[in-house]
Amino acid sequence: MTAKTLYDKLWDAHVVRTEEDGTALLYIDRHLVHEVTSPQAFEGLRLAGRKPWRSHSVVAVPDHNVPTRDRDQGIADPVSRTQVETLQQNVRHFGLTFFPMGDIRQGIVHVIGPEQGATLPGMTVVCGDSHTSTHGAFGALAMGIGTSEVEHVLATQCLLQKKMKSMLISVDGQVGPGVTAKDIVLAIIGEIGTAGGTGYAIEFGGDAIRALSMEGRMTVCNMAIEAGARAGMVAVDDTTIDYVKGRPFAPKGAYWHQAVAAWRELHSDPDARFDRVVHIDAAGIEPQVTWGTSPEMVLPVSGKVPNPDAVADEVKANGMRRALEYMGLTAGMPVSDITVDKIFIGSCTNARLEDIRAAAEVVKGRRVAGNVKLALVVPGSGLVKQQAEQEGLDRIFLDAGFEWREPGCSMCLAMNADRLEPGERCASTSNRNFESRQGLGGRTHLVSPAMAAAAAVTGRFVDVRELN
């Protein structure tokens, strides 16, 4: 039998039929839905007189538009409110599983799926959201889709797709203390670029990935899309199975044992061939900080802002010049000289309990620096928030001068009231530093939770390893 990659195994298990040109009908096990990319799909379904093929496969939650404070007053922005209410009406009409605002299980769709056990190894998982790659951490084939595809999956339980190429990114050896999953994935994007993974499904492997918790693996897979790859994944091991066990949607009893036996096969065979293999030396990874307006514009915290004049490719050099101007930085400036105005700890990349604990550890006994106007912690779900409060982490943040908010996407994309003002500079644990992503004219630097916490208490980017 030919050796298979993890991606081959997941693909083969879900192909319903294949057309002559290789376009396959791929069966979808789990469909996660949020309020922004679904209304037009539900409308299309209704206009065509169609129904969800398997309503049981859908889990819906509002996350992008929800306010992170004063929830008892509802949603102030009428346009946001309409969108959330539209989701409510659609789930009611079609009889779908739904965690509304106010339900302890509500939160960012990519946090709650795994938390509830709605994401399981071996599944195909889709959502109208590019960060669906997160769920690949479970040895699942998870992909972001557009709204037309949301409608297609609702109506047919399938996606039309051609098989992607396969890439293995092996992070060899171990990272040093204070270097996190976020630093690993930013370093990977710095290495292969934001289009390096275009057309590929990426499997992350190597000792440094194996050593990560599920939270860390989710952070890495979450940003596969920032490397251009629609899907990122990690093989199943004990860490995966221990995480899934006992979660509300996870299989129970005899099914559990049957499932675990199947999940144990979810790894690439030793002789499996990948279309591309990239090796990264874990020991060489420092805490990372992005300096520009694309996630590939990233540096170690000890680095200096690069000089476009030293770049031969004119299109690339012009892009760097535009980024420097937008970010208000000059070439040659040390990263550690960059001061910040706001701090955002949250998002589907870094709003899980482990992230909040890591930030709290740095913040404990310290105060938010005087030049920082606002420091936000936005937990990824109601359950993350509750657990963090039981551990007293909210007190650590509040005592230091942070705000402790309700769960949602918040300032990762600023669809709700949480945003940067023009020119404001933010240390953010989110995933995109695009122009105006966090608010019109806002300047985003992507970092790990520990690095964001260190920036909060010092007012600038410092190597978190030197704080302790």
Partner 1 sequence: MEKFETLNALVCPLDRSNVDTDAIIPKQYLKSVKRTGFGPNLFDDWRYLDPGEPGMDHSRRRVNPDFVLNQPRYEGARILLARKNFGCGSSREHAVWALTNYGFRVVIAPSFADIFFNNSFKNGLLPLILDEAIVDQLFREAEASPGYRLTVDLQAQTVVTPSGASFPFQVDPFRRHCLLNGLDDIGLTLQHGEDIRAYEARRRTEAPWLF
Residue 55 binding partner 1, by CB under 8 A: no
Q: Please tell me whether residue 377 adopts helix, strand or coil conformation.
A: strand
Name the minimum Å distance from CB 227 to partner 1: 10
Q: Sign of the CA dihedral 339, 344, 345, 350?
A: negative
Q: Is 418 in the site for partner 1 (CB under 8 A)?
A: no
State how far the Cα of 384 lies from the Cα of 358, in Å rounded to an integer: 14
Check binding of 173 to partner 1 (CB under 8 A).
Answer: no
- Which of 198, 302, 330, 468 is the binder for partner 1 (CB under 8 A)? 198
Q: Which of 97, 210, 434, 460 binds partner 1 (CB under 8 A)?
A: 434
Q: Is 94 in the site for partner 1 (CB under 8 A)?
A: no
Residues recorded for the chain: 468
Whichever of 51 and 357 has its CB closer to partner 1, that residue is 51
Residue 264 to residues 197, 270, 284: CA-CA distances in angstroms? 27, 14, 31
Residue 15-34 contact track with partner 1, rule CB under 8 A, x = bound: -xx-xxx-x-x-x-x-----
> b or e along 21-54 (b: 16 or more beta carbons within 10 Å of the residue's beta carbon)?
eeebbbbbbbbbbbbbbbbebbebbeeeeeebbe
70-101: string of b/e by CB count within 10 Å (b at 16+)?
eeeeebeeeebeebbebbeebbeebebbbbeb
Q: Which is nearer to partner 1, 5 or 416 (CB)?
A: 416
Is 97 a residue that touches partner 1 (CB under 8 A)?
A: no
Q: Which is nearer to partner 1, 60 or 301 (CB)?
A: 60
DSSP, collapsed to helix, strand or coil, labels residue 388 as: helix
Stretch that binds partner 1, among 107-115, 276-284, 398-406, 432-440 (CB under 8 A): 432-440
Is there binding between residue 36 and partner 1 (CB under 8 A)? yes
Those residues with Cβ within 8 angstroms of residue 62's Cβ, 6 or more apart along the chain or in another chain? 34, 35, 84, 87, 88, 100, 101, 106, 408
Which C-beta is closer to partner 1: that of 178 or that of 439?
Answer: 439
Which among 95-103, 104-112, 195-203, 329-337 is the span making contact with partner 1, rule CB under 8 A?
A: 195-203
- What residues contact residue 250 under an 8 Å CB cut-off, 6+ apart? 117, 120, 244, 256
Q: Does 130 bind partner 1 (CB under 8 A)?
A: yes
Which range of residues in 119-127, 267-275, 298-306, 449-457 is near partner 1 by CB under 8 A? 119-127
- Tell me if 191 contacts partner 1 by CB under 8 A: no
Q: Using the rule CB under 8 A, is 432 a contact of partner 1?
A: yes
What is the β-pairing status of strands 58-60 and 97-98?
parallel
The residue (of 44 and 176) whose beta carbon lies closer to partner 1 is: 44
Which lies closer to partner 1 via its Cβ, residue 23 or residue 371? 23
The Cα–Cα gap between 239 and 125 comes to 20
Q: Cα separation of 132 and 239, whole Å?
A: 20
Q: How many residues bind partner 1 (CB under 8 A)?
A: 77
Task: Return the number of other C-beta atoms located less than 10 Å from residue 212's C-beta.
Answer: 22
Write the CB contacts of 358 (distance below 8 Å, at least 6 apart in sequence): 180, 448, 449, 450, 453
Vertex 355: Cα angle to 351 and 360 (nearest 5) = 115
53 binds partner 1 (CB under 8 A): yes
Q: Quick one: which segment of 93-101, 300-308, 343-351, 407-415 binds partner 1 (CB under 8 A)?
A: 407-415
Q: Using the rule CB under 8 A, is 106 a contact of partner 1?
A: no
Which residues, numbered 208-237, are part of the site for partner 1 (CB under 8 A)? 225, 228-230
Tokens representing residue 214 in the block: 């599920």
CA contacts within 13 A on the Cβ side of 224? 35
Q: Which of 79, 270, 271, 332 binds partner 1 (CB under 8 A)?
A: 79
Site string for partner 1, 287-326 (x = CB under 8 A): -------x--------------------xx-xx--x----
The minimum distance between CB 312 and partner 1, in angstroms, equals: 15
The reply to whether 115 sits near partner 1 by the rule CB under 8 A is no
Residue matched to tokens 């409510």: 88
82 near partner 1, rule: CB under 8 A:
yes
